[in-house]
Structure 1
């Protein structure tokens, strides 16, 4: 018998929009509807982030969320994602969304994402 994930050719993504990065941080700590790997969006601060215990921005601006430490020498996106207990696909999705919204990406992520600097 096929499960829903076997039957459909798409992946569901959960997005959560907030008025501020402070609100996003607080909600990611206590709202059970927000799960690790979900995308957090704060339009007013031009921030797109990934939810986890310490939610972190993929955008140049992080506000009250965490910024990523510089990648270790030789570290690729898959290794970085594993170290944060999220998926590389979560990074790619959040970065793509930030780009579509016109928000500058965290410059240290650009080489890991194989995206043009724009």
Structure 2
């Protein structure tokens, strides 16, 4: 272990050969004080001592602990100076801090490349021997998640390559309506009823879709708080007087009434339930 004095004057930087040595020394050496920065260049780990706990601020952490919240939320921001000093040390090593500990930092090309390597190392461990009960496996999963979060923010090609695809189908509504506020408000009303899996291409009124194994309710937003709720059988919307599924429109109707929505009356030939989302009172 080697020490160096650096600003701010109340903090010191301690260098170690391994994270195992760093951990041991923090437990038995009086020269390492609360908030001091820990640097393990060989393992690309930089961190600090939080009371009795040596914690890493980098994606790789070896034998050190990790933090469950951004550094500015730890102990009321007590370790902000430690984080700044750690960032300086990481910069000298050309190793980036975990993104939630240095959200405003602009990484170098080398730091981005190193994070790609860290992601690959963690992914190999996660996929090689999956074991959610193994703490080392969980630690690798954590490293992979934070490396990928870093890369999605700072590496445009990585962000594009890992972008979640648009879902092929969603239950109870078309994928294009997944974030519509009126649809999101209606879904809990019908919780417990069967939801029809729909694609953006599905046409519930087209007889050519009659043999699709699509059954259950389907919600369509109509604007200004109005939704149309259908009941589908074999891919088609059914009228109130169709059997055997048509009468299930009554259950849909009753759900919206009970939830306080303004619901238009049903008649025997109704194809859907029109329900107006409750408006907040002044």
Identify if the C-alpha distance between structure 1 residues 30 and 82 changes in structure 2 by more than 3 Å, giving closer, same or farther.
farther
Deviation at 1:100, TM superposition (A): 2.2
Query: Is 2:23 the counterpart of 1:33?
Result: no
> How far apart in 1 are the matches of 2:19 and 2:107?
24
The Cα offsets for residues 69-109 of structure 1, whole Å up to 9 and x where unpaired, read as 134xxxx71x32537xx431111110121022111211221
* TM-score normalised to structure 1 length: 0.73
Q: Does structure 1 conserve the Cα–Cα contact (< 8 Å) formed by 2:8 and 2:81? A: no
Structure 2 portions without partners, runs of 5+: 1-6, 109-282
Residue of structure 1 equivalent to 2:63: 64
> How far apart in 1 are the matches of 2:89 and 2:47?
10
- Cα RMSD (Å) of the superposition? 2.0
Residue of structure 1 equivalent to 2:106: 116
Structure 1 portions without partners, runs of 5+: 1-9
> How far apart in 1 are the matches of 2:32 and 2:42?
20
The Cα offsets for residues 33-53 of structure 1, whole Å up to 9 and x where unpaired, read as 100111111111011110131
* TM-score normalised to structure 2 length: 0.33
Residue of structure 2 equivalent to 1:90: 82
Identify if the C-alpha distance between structure 1 residues 54 and 18 changes in structure 2 by more than 3 Å, giving closer, same or farther.
same
> How far apart in 1 are the matches of 2:96 and 2:74?
20
Q: Choose the corresponding residue for 1:23, options 3, 21, 24.
A: 21
Q: Does structure 1 conserve the Cα–Cα contact (< 8 Å) formed by 2:96 and 2:107? A: no
Residue of structure 2 equivalent to 1:80: 74
Which one has a bigger Cα radius of gyration? Answer: 2
> How far apart in 2 are the matches of 1:104 and 1:98?
6
1:51 is paired with a residue whose SS is strand
- Pick 1 or 2: higher relative contact order, CA cutoff 8 A, min separation 6: 1
> How far apart in 2 are the matches of 1:96 and 1:56?
16
Question: Greater strand share, 1 or 2?
Answer: 2
1:55 is paired with a residue whose SS is strand
Query: Size of the alignment, in residue pairs?
Result: 100
